[in-house]
C-alpha cells in the first residue's frame, strides 16, 4: 500500500501578492503584478516590463537575522525562504530549536540559479583583488542548493534536503519528487517548491533570444497575453511558491487543515527528438506526460474539471492547447476550464511551477476559477479546440474536484500533477 499524500501548507511570494491573503485577492480579481522596470530600460532591454515581488526591509527581518542579512544579496533565496517558512507555519508546524533534527521532515526546493547578484558582486571583488571582502555567506548564497540549505537549517530538517533544477518545470518536478518520497514511506512530510532570482542578469538571455514581449513597455499590465492572438512573447518575472505535503495519517493525527490531495503525476522528456528542441516541446512527449499522469493517478480524462496550463504567451500556446485536447480527447464545450496565471504575474521561470501550483490549490480548496486576463482576442487555433466560455475572463465561483497542473520547460522536459479535493474515504 502506498501512502496517500495531502497538502497541508502553502506559502507564496509573487509579483502580484506576497502572502496567501494578498495573492488570493489578486488572482480572484485579475490584478496584475507586472510593471515598468527602470533598470531594464536603462540597460536598453527590448522588454522593459517585469514582474518582481515587492518586499520591504522590515519584512525581510521577519525571516532573516541582522547577521544573516549582512552582505546578503540573493533574491532567489530570499523569496524561497519566505515562501517556505510561511508554508511551514500555514501547515501548523512549529520551528523547534533543539539539538535533534526532525528526521521525518525534509525539503526538495528547486531553483534555476542561486544568488546571481552575489555572483556578480563576487566577480567584481575578486577582479579588484578584494576576495577577503566577499563575506562568509558568499558560498551559501551562490551554491545551487543554497535555498534548500537555508530552509533545512531554519527548520532543523533531518530527512532529505536538496535542490532540483529543470528550467520552467522545476517547481512541478519538486512537488512530484516530494510526493513520491512520502508515498514510498521515506518521509512523513516534505517542504516542496521552487524559487527564481530577479533582475537583468537572469532575464537578459531571454531578451536576447527575442522570446520576451517588447510591445507593451508603455502598458505593462497588458503585456502578458497567454492564449491571445496578439501575444508577442512572455514577460520575465520572479518569486517563489511552497507547499507542505505529508502523508494522510500524519496530517490526520495532528489535526491539520487539508487543502487537497495529490493523486499522482508524471515527469518525462521529449529527448529533443522529433519536433522537440532545447526550446520547443516534443508534442508526443507532452501528450504522453499527461496520459501517464492520469494513469499514475488512476483518473479518467473525462473526470478533469480544470487545467492550470503552462501557457507562456508565446507562439507555442496554441500547440499546448492542441496537445491537451488530444491527450484528454476533449474538445469544444467538453474541454475542461483552463487559465494561465502568467497573464497576471508573467513567467516566473524556475519558480513558475510552484507558484502556479499554489494558485491551483487555492482554487481547488476555495471553489473558484480565476480569470485569465488579456486574452479577449483568443488565438483562432485555440478557439478550434476550446469553447470560449471554458477560458474565464472573470472570476467563476465553482466547486472543483479533480484538476491538473502542468509545466513544460527548456530542454524539452515536462511535468504534470493530478490534484483532487480531499475526501476522507
Would you state the pLDDT for residue 97? 82
Q: How far is C-alpha 172 from the geometric centre of its chain's CA atoms?
A: 7
Query: Which of 324, 404, 412 is closest to 363 using CA atoms?
Result: 404
Return the pLDDT at 360: 98
Q: In 3-state terms, what secondary structure has residue 171?
A: helix
CA distance 286 to 412: 9
Over residues 329-383, the pLDDT tens digits come to 999 999 999 999 999 999 999 999 999 999 999 999 999 999 999 999 999 999 9
Q: Looking at residue 127, what is its pLDDT? A: 62
> Which secondary structure element, helix H or strand E, spans residue 215, and what is its range?
none
Q: Which of 43, 114, 117 is nearest to 77 (CA)?
A: 114
Q: What is the dihedral of CA 188, 151, 345, 392, to 10 degrees?
A: 10
Three cell numbers, residue 225: 497575453
Residues sharing a CB contact under 8 Å with residue 369, sequence separation 6 or more, in sequence order: 306, 337, 339, 363, 392, 395, 396, 398, 400
Q: Say what the pLDDT of residue 124 is.
A: 61
CATH superfamily of 5-253: Thiolase/Chalcone synthase (3.40.47.10)
Give dist(CA 237, CA 293) in Å, integer. 28
Name the phi and psi angles at 339, rounded to 5. Answer: -145, 175
Closest CA to 218 of 16, 26, 37: 37
State the DSSP H helix or E strand holding residue 245, giving kind and residue range, or none if neither: strand 239-247
Question: Would the pTM of this model clear 0.85, i.e. be above it?
Answer: yes
Quick one: pLDDT at residue 36?
Answer: 98
Whether the CB-CB separation of 310 and 408 falls below 8 Å is answered with: yes
Measuring CA to CA, how many Å separate 19 from each of 23, 212, 239?
6, 27, 11
State how beta strands 260-269 and 5-14 pair. antiparallel
CATH 3.40.47.10-classified regions of the chain: 5-253, 264-420
Q: Do 30 and 381 contact (CB within 8 A), yes or no? A: no
C-alpha span between 309 and 339 (Å, rounded): 6
With H, G, I as helix, E, B as strand and everything else as coil, classify residue 23: helix
What does the pLDDT read at residue 70? 84
- Residue 338 pLDDT: 98
pLDDT at 152: 97
Report the distance separating Cα 191 and Cα 148, nearest Å. Answer: 9
H-run or E-run covering 11: strand 5-14
Contact between 171 and 407 (Cβ < 8 Å): yes
H and E: helices and strands count for the chain: 16, 15
Q: How far apart are CA 81 and CA 11, in angstroms?
A: 10
Which top CATH class is 264-420?
A: alpha beta
Q: Where are the beta strands (DSSP E) in 248-395?
A: 260-269, 306-308, 337-339, 368-369
What are the distances in angstroms from CA 205 to CA 24, 47, 202, 211, 247? 31, 12, 7, 9, 40
Distances (CA, A) of 266 to 172, 280, 294, 295, 397: 10, 19, 8, 9, 29
Residue 147 cell numbers, joined: 535555498
Point out the residues of the chain with pLDDT beneath 50. Answer: none
Q: What distances in angstroms separate CA 314 from CA 159, 217, 220, 266, one per listed residue?
A: 40, 17, 16, 24
Instruction: Record the cell numbers describing residue 130, joined without a space.
Output: 578584494
Amino acid at each position: 500500500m502506498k501512502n496517500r499524500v495531502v497538502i497541508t501548507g502553502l506559502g507564496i511570494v509573487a509579483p502580484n501578492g506576497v502572502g496567501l491573503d494578498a495573492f488570493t485577492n489578486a488572482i480572484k480579481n485579475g490584478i496584475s503584478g507586472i510593471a515598468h522596470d527602470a533598470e531594464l530600460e536603462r540597460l536598453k532591454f527590448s522588454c522593459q516590463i517585469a514582474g518582481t515581488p515587492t518586499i520591504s526591509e522590515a519584512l525581510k527581518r521577519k525571516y532573516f537575522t541582522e547577521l544573516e542579512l549582512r552582505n546578503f544579496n540573493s533574491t532567489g533565496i530570499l523569496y524561497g525562504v519566505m515562501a517556505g517558512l510561511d508554508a511551514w507555519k500555514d501547515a501548523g508546524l512549529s520551528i523547534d530549536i533543539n539539538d535533534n533534527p526532525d528526521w521525518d521532515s525534509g525539503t526538495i526546493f528547486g531553483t534555476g540559479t542561486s544568488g546571481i547578484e552575489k555572483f556578480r558582486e563576487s566577480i567584481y571583488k575578486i577582479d579588484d583583488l578584494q576576495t577577503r571582502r566577499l563575506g562568509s555567506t558568499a558560498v551559501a548564497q551562490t551554491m545551487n542548493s543554497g535555498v534548500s540549505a537555508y530552509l533545512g537549517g531554519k527548520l532543523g530538517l533531518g530527512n532529505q534536503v536538496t535542490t532540483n533544477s529543470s528550467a520552467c518545470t522545476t517547481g512541478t518536478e519538486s512537488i512530484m519528487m516530494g510526493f513520491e518520497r512520502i508515498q514510498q514511506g521515506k518521509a512523513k512530510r516534505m517542504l516542496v517548491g521552487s524559487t527564481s532570482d530577479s533582475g537583468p542578469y537572469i532575464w537578459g538571455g531571454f531578451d536576447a533570444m527575442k522570446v520576451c514581449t517588447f510591445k507593451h513597455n508603455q502598458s505593462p499590465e497588458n503585456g502578458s497575453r497567454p492564449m491571445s492572438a496578439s501575444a508577442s512573447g512572455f514577460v520575465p518575472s520572479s518569486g517563489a511558491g511552497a507547499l507542505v505535503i505529508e502523508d494522510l495519517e500524519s496530517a490526520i493525527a495532528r489535526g491539520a487543515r487539508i487543502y487537497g490531495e495529490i493523486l499522482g503525476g508524471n515527469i518525462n522528456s521529449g529527448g529533443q527528438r522529433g519536433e522537440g528542441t532545447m526550446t520547443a516541446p516534443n508534442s508526443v512527449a507532452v501528450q504522453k506526460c499527461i496520459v501517464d499522469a492520469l494513469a499514475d493517478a488512476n483518473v479518467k480524462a473525462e473526470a478533469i474539471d480544470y487545467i492550470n496550463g503552462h501557457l507562456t504567451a508565446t507562439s507555442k500556446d496554441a500547440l499546448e492547447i492542441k496537445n491537451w485536447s488530444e491527450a484528454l480527447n476533449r474538445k469544444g464545450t467538453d474541454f475542461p476550464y483552463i487559465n494561465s496565471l502568467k497573464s497576471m504575474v508573467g513567467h516566473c521561470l524556475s519558480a513558475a511551477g510552484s507558484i502556479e501550483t499554489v494558485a491551483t490549490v487555492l482554487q481547488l480548496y476555495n471553489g473558484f476559477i480565476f480569470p485569465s486576463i488579456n486574452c479577449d482576442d483568443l488565438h483562432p487555433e485555440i478557439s478550434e479546440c476550446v469553447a470560449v466560455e471554458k477560458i474565464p475572463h472573470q472570476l467563476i465561483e465553482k466547486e472543483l474536484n479533480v484538476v491538473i497542473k502542468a509545466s513544460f520547460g527548456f530542454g524539452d522536459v515536462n511535468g504534470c500533477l493530478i490534484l483532487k479535493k480531499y475526501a476522507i474515504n
